[in-house]
Structure 1
Amino acid sequence: MENDVRRKNHKKKQKTSRLIIPIAAAAVAVCAGVGAYFYYDYSNRVYTKCQVELGGQVKATDFLKNPSDTAEFAAGSVYSTDIAGSYDVKVICGRYTYDCVLEVVDSIAPELSVKELTRTKEEIPKPEDFVESVSDASNDVKVYFGEGISFDNYGDIPINIVAEDSSGNCTSVNTTLHLVEEYDIVPPVIEGQLDKIVYTGQAVSFKQGIIVTDNVDTDIEVQVDSSHVNLDVPGEYPIEYTATDSMGNMDLKEGTITVIKAEYTPDEVDALADEVLAQIIKPDMSDYDKAHAIYVWVKGNMGYSESEDKGDWLKGAYDGLKNRHGDCYNYFAVSKELLTRAGIKNEDIEIIPTATRHHFWNVIDCGEGWRHFDTTPRTDKEFKGFYLTDEELMEYSNAHYRSHNYDREIYTYFN
């Protein structure tokens, strides 16, 4: 009896054992499948790590591989794109929450601009003194001198300024220290054509004909305030020119921009000039030869008569080319147009006017420096106004009642 019971129990255990093994295997398979699903889900739905530049913007959807899905950061995901570092964040997408890492990196060097300085040995500047502006997303920048700088000798000392942010990104910019024995208190001097005549709608370079000189600095740039000038409306407008040297000494000059309405378009005048040039200019001519051909043509094809064309050189050129006569202003204007169309560098010049006299002519540069170019006929038939040096013309002027006495502070070509 007892043996029968034992045999029955043994058979039950065998049946139970046979049942447990498949169930366990199925459970393992299910777990493996779930794990594989979640691995597949992670690898196909999100990036486990996302990188953003310091100061940039980041969204939870940046972690998603499918940009059409929606996502949000879970509460408790603390990060700041203003501070470089790694942040553990949780991204919620649908029913699932994913553990991800946000990396905020700083790979951009600071922006740095510097200026030149003039100092004595008693006031050697610090690196910060050379800085005009410095900016960086980290707002944590140190400025220091590059290597190899010595303040032992007077003169122009090359200076290297380095700006380095908290992540080690560096920007290096060169400048100059003018080390002097004593301070410069002499301001720069602005000279040149402060007053200009322009046409409505015409582009104009207000700095043209303006020069700045200084007893120390050699590269001072003139600044122009033309805020009151309206190039679309005829009239007279004030303009200001300022220049500041490295010690802060400043010069200010005022001028007048006269805007007039052109009676003839540049195209109309150019067409007349091109007809003349086609007859007298050959392809193999030098600038000197072209200028001489223009001088000969103007002298031989225009006659002198009184004119009212003052102040509008386009009209003066048109009338001179069309009618083949005029006064010194027409001679000057025709020469200016022909020289310009021939590609010869030229500028305007005029006498210091008096109650009874006014005279206009040109200056040209054919590669040997400025020369005077005056095509207007004179009562002195011996006068030749082509390619004269300033010394030659001034010698003639002084012997003929200061016929070409111009203002050297305005017309600085020969200074």
Structure 2
Amino acid sequence: MAGNSRKQKKKNKRLRKDRLLLLLVPVLLVGGLIWFGVNKLNPLHLKSTHYIAEYKSEFKPLDNLKSLFMDSTEKVSVEGKVDTETVGDYDMNYVYDGKKYPFVVSVRDTAAPEIKVKDYTTDTTETIKAENFIDSITDASTYSIKMDNREDTKEAGTFKITISATDQYGNESEKSARLIRKEDKQAPSLEGFEKQISLMQGQEYTSDSYKAVDNLDSSPTSYCDTSHLDVTVPGTYNVDFTVRDRSDNQATYTQTVTVVEDPDYGKSTCYLTFDDGPSQNTLKILDILDQYEVKATFFVIGTHPEEYDIMKEIVDHGHTIALHTFSHDYASLYSSEEAYFDDLEKIAKVVKDQTGIEPDCIRFPGGSSNTISAEYSPGLMNKLTKAVQERGYQYFDWNGDSTDASGNNVPVEQLIANATSGIGTEKINILFHDTDAKNTTVEALPSIIQAYKDAGYIFKGVSKDGFAPHHAVNN
């Protein structure tokens, strides 16, 4: 009997479950039909009727679309346009199956500035600024910076500094850094200082290459006393440098300057310089220079290998051979600093192979004042004028011009007049060109040389430590 009772209970339980399932099926079916009907009638769902887009961040047209019932979002079109570069409210519509779903996109700046800070070490004297601790700040809008340095006592120690940035929409962030103050007892040093140097008589003395540096003061002062130096009189002189930091630590460096006698000092000097050779006219020019017993300089290029052997003739006649680049092609050699030096090194190799000489004097095509280089690499000449000297070269522009570059067969009388207009200038570097087409330059040369001789000039080739006219750099 007990066994039958248990079986009956199980049977009754199954019956109850079956009845419940029979009741749930219609309910679920009706619920599903209702859900399907609602979504069929209103298939597109928005994330929000008032969507917030971040200022100056990308907003994609479908960013506010939450879902689309049983269809592709490619069938949804968008009415309206959002400009995330401008804060404001923009009315938008999604259009699907002929129905519009309106919403508003509000472009707002809700992001606080992102601050990266750094610790700062200084002495006990400096008045600190917020900028000392800021590595970077980024934000979509303008911002202001504040610094909380209330803990700073200007004594040796470590102090907490708080930097805060608030943008124009009131979003604020802050970061903390350490201010490390140390008692400074170390005097600055003089970077690049040379205890002894030599100058040719009359050569300008410059201290620009020496820089005061300090362990804690980023801008120590340097004073150079040249009151006892006279570069016009041969002899030995002392030049004193005094360097000082803001903590009043100071040191003195004494440099011995030897002024070497120049037998030509005080005499007017003419530097005849010829660009773009060697050419078929070079030997004619050398004959004229020999005839008048004067020296000149040839800034050579490498585009005429059939004339390379003349480079040796230039040197054998006692003239200065210098570099003017291999190609003289502005677009190529002025495309970058690397391209310029590749070209320069190429002509340097040719000259060394032909003459055994490694020139240290150069002339930029177009001169250091050229502007054409800006078409290929803005700011390049500012870099090159420094870089060539750092590599051991001296560059030469000119302060006299024959104007033979203005065309071929410029009238002889015009060349003479232009080239001799510099008479009266103590040191004159005259620009000529040595190419196959410059026949009138050759014809004018004797009269030009004679005019300068009659005016008492001596003639020299350029040298790295000699007179080097430099133009104002325009790129």
> Same-fold call, TM > 0.5?
no
TM-score by length of 1: 0.30
* Greater RCO, 1 or 2 (C-alpha within 8 Å, sep 6+): 2
Q: TM-score, normalised by structure 2?
A: 0.27
